[in-house]
């Protein structure tokens, strides 16, 4: 794919600088927040968010093995064979989809955990709206324009983007691998994130290559603009430098182009190891919107299997690379998906939009295990039956902010627009 604008600094608007100055003066007037801000600014911890776009089917991902007969009854056309599911050390009641080989291994090594049945009150079943809710951390019935990670970064760097980059923060606050910076990284006024459009563009930047379209008049002009765009971008140079510091990465990575999520995460680990002080990285993969033919006749194969294999292999390689690059203690990751899917499978061999679903979190410093209980599969399942919520997704965010970034509880409440009890995951 030829994506010619690789680095796109979407920080727009300088007109409000006077207003921002006002805020920054207030913030510098010795508020208790200042201490926490310094702590976050100086520590090296990084959060990696993996978006599973489309709504991942939680029940065929993390299987309620203790209710196997109810499970097979609810999903006669797509249930996974008892002997094929992946068992978890110390957690007999639960099993992983056979595609999650790498993640099973990480789980058994204590480097990956699961939070069961994550959702929020009055769940929304529209992809777009539900995604906005997850990204903005809003209540189901409130429309919030900023994102939770954006508000966190705004809290840490209230003056951004005025006079950024600077000595304290020479690097992008957040990096999105993708065309559009996610709502999650949107601050109160400005986006706090910067986009690296795609992996191919990233490598062209690092290697200083451009597409060659020079056989036509417009192509020749385009090549030039592309070349300039590589030299441009406030952060292009720091990204290039960081990437160039890392000359070798783990052999665990699949070949380029084989696993699109791995390709994205490979950039992330390289940039972290290269010394970027960037706090939040966001990558995305999809589409988990498996309404029809989610599996083949052999239910361990098919669309959902491929999607989960991609995630598992990518996270496995990423974790191996973090160790290879000796930065494993700095990174925590988490998967997010806008919703789970219905308990009962449909007649097309798929599953329709649902409510709560499990979240995976991983890292070398996390508290492993499974938080919460398996969802209860009714003996006689109705087509509209949903997995009820056990944990609010904002409690996960609270855990990350409080437990991983060590933000004071009052600020976490401000960022998350409410009081959500952290979970024992980190």
Partner 1 sequence: MNSGRRRNSFKAWWLGNMLNQQSTLREKMVLFWHNHFATEMKTVDNPTMIYKHHVLLRQYALGNFKAMVRAVTVDAAMLKYLNGNANTKKAPDENYGRELQELFTLGKGPGSQYTEADVKAAARVLTGFRINNRSLPDVHGEFDAGRHDERDKQFSAFYNNQVIKGRSGKEGEAELDDLLNLIFQQPEVARFICRKLYRYFVYHHIDEVTEKNIIEPLAHTFRQHNYDIKPVLERLLSSRHFFDAGNRGGIIKSPVDLAVGLCREYNIGFPGEENYVELYQLWFNIQTIASQMQQNIGDPPNVAGWPAYYHEPLYDKSWISSDTLPKRTAFTDRMVSNGFARNDKKILIDPLQYTRQLSAPGDPNKLIDELADLLYAVELPVEEKQYMKTAILLQGLQGMASDHYWRDAWNKLQEKPDDAANAKNVTNKLKNLLKYMMSLPQYQLM
End-to-end CA distance of the chain, in Å?
A: 39
Residue 24 or 232 having the CB closest to partner 1: 232
In the complex, the smallest distance separating the C-beta of residue 54 from partner 1, rounded to whole angstroms, is: 5
Q: Are 173 and 157 in contact (CB under 8 A)?
A: yes
In the complex, the smallest distance separating the C-beta of residue 394 from partner 1, rounded to whole angstroms, is: 18
* 3-class secondary structure, 221: helix
Q: Which helix (H) or strand (E) holds 264?
A: helix 260-273
Residues in binding contact with partner 1, number by CB under 8 A = 50
Stretches 48-56, 64-72, 166-174, 364-372: which one binds partner 1 (CB under 8 A)? Answer: 48-56
In the complex, the smallest distance separating the C-beta of residue 77 from partner 1, rounded to whole angstroms, is: 18
Q: Which of 27, 33, 39, 53 binds partner 1 (CB under 8 A)?
A: 53
**Residue 379 φ then ψ, to 5°:** -60, -45
Q: Which of 18, 30, 83, 218 binds partner 1 (CB under 8 A)?
A: 218
232 binds partner 1 (CB under 8 A): yes
Dist CA 61 CA 75 (whole Å): 13
Q: Which of 10, 24, 300, 301 binds partner 1 (CB under 8 A)?
A: 10
Sites for partner 1 among residues 287-316 (CB under 8 A): 287, 289, 291-292
Sites for partner 1 among residues 149-178 (CB under 8 A): 178
Residue 171 or 321 having the CB closest to partner 1: 171
Which residues, at least 6 apart from 32, have a Cβ–Cβ distance to it below 8 Å? 408, 410
Work out whether strand 193-196 and strand 7-8 pair parallel, antiparallel, or are unpaired. antiparallel
Site string for partner 1, 355-394 (x = CB under 8 A): ----------------------------------------
Dist CA 96 CA 380 (whole Å): 24
Stretches 13-21, 78-86, 106-114, 413-421: which one binds partner 1 (CB under 8 A)? Answer: 13-21
Work out whether strand 174-177 and strand 112-119 pair parallel, antiparallel, or are unpaired. unpaired
Residue 207 CA: distances (Å) to CA of 137, 246, 283, 290: 38, 13, 22, 38
228 binds partner 1 (CB under 8 A): yes
Q: Which residues pair with 48 in a beta bridge?
A: 281, 333
Q: Which helix (H) or strand (E) holds 356?
A: none
Sites for partner 1 among residues 75-134 (CB under 8 A): 126-129, 131-132
214 binds partner 1 (CB under 8 A): no
Dist CA 260 CA 326 (whole Å): 24
Work out whether strand 91-96 and strand 369-371 pair parallel, antiparallel, or are unpaired. unpaired
Q: Which of 13, 257, 378, 424 binds partner 1 (CB under 8 A)?
A: 13
Residue 174 CA: distances (Å) to CA of 65, 192, 317: 38, 6, 22
Contact footprint for partner 1 (CB under 8 A): 1-5, 8-15, 51, 53-54, 126-129, 131-132, 143, 145, 178-180, 183, 198, 216-218, 221-222, 224-226, 228-229, 231-234, 284-287, 289, 291-292
């Amino acid at each position: 794919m030829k994506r010619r604008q690789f680095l796109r600094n979407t920080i727009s608007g300088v007109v409000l600088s006077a207003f921002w100055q006002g805020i920054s003066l207030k913030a510098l007037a010795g508020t208790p927040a200042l201490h926490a801000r310094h702590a976050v600014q100086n520590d090296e911890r990084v959060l990696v968010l993996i978006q599973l776009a489309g709504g991942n089917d939680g029940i065929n991902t993390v299987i309620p093995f203790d209710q196997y007969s109810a499970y097979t009854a609810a999903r006669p056309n797509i249930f996974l064979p008892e002997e094929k599911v992946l068992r978890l050390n110390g957690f007999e009641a639960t099993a992983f989809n056979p595609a999650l080989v790498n993640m099973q291994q990480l789980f058994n090594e204590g480097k990956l955990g699961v939070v069961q049945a994550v959702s929020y009150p009055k769940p929304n079943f529209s992809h777009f709206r539900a995604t906005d809710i997850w990204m903005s951390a809003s209540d189901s019935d409130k429309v919030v324009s900023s994102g939770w990670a954006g508000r966190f970064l705004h809290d840490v760097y209230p003056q951004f983007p005025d006079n950024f980059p600077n000595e304290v923060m020479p690097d992008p606050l957040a990096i999105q691998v993708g065309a559009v910076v996610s709502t999650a990284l949107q601050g109160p006024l400005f986006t706090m994130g910067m986009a690296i459009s795609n992996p191919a563009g990233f490598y062209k930047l690092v290697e200083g290559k451009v597409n060659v379209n020079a056989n036509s008049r417009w192509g020749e002009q385009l090549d030039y603009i592309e070349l300039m765009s590589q030299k441009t971008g406030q952060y292009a140079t720091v990204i290039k430098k960081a990437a160039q510091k890392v000359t070798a990465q783990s052999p665990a990575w699949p070949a380029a182009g084989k696993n699109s999520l791995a390709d994205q995460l490979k950039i992330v680990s390289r940039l972290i190891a290269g010394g970027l002080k960037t706090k939040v990285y966001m990558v995305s993969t999809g589409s988990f919107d498996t309404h029809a033919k989610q599996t083949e006749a052999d239910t361990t194969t098919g669309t959902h299997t491929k999607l989960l294999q991609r995630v598992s292999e990518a996270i496995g390689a990423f974790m191996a690379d973090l160790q290879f690059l000796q930065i494993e203690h700095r990174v925590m990751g988490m998967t997010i998906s806008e919703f789970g899917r219905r308990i009962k499978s449909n007649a097309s061999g798929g599953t329709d939009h649902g409510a709560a679903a499990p979240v995976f979190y991983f890292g070398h410093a996390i508290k492993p295990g499974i938080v919460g209980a398996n969802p209860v599969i009714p003996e006689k399942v109705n087509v509209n039956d949903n997995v009820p919520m056990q944990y609010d997704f904002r409690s996960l965010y609270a855990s990350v902010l409080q437990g991983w970034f060590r933000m004071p509880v009052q600020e976490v409440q401000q960022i998350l627009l409410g009081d959500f009890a952290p979970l024992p995951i980190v």
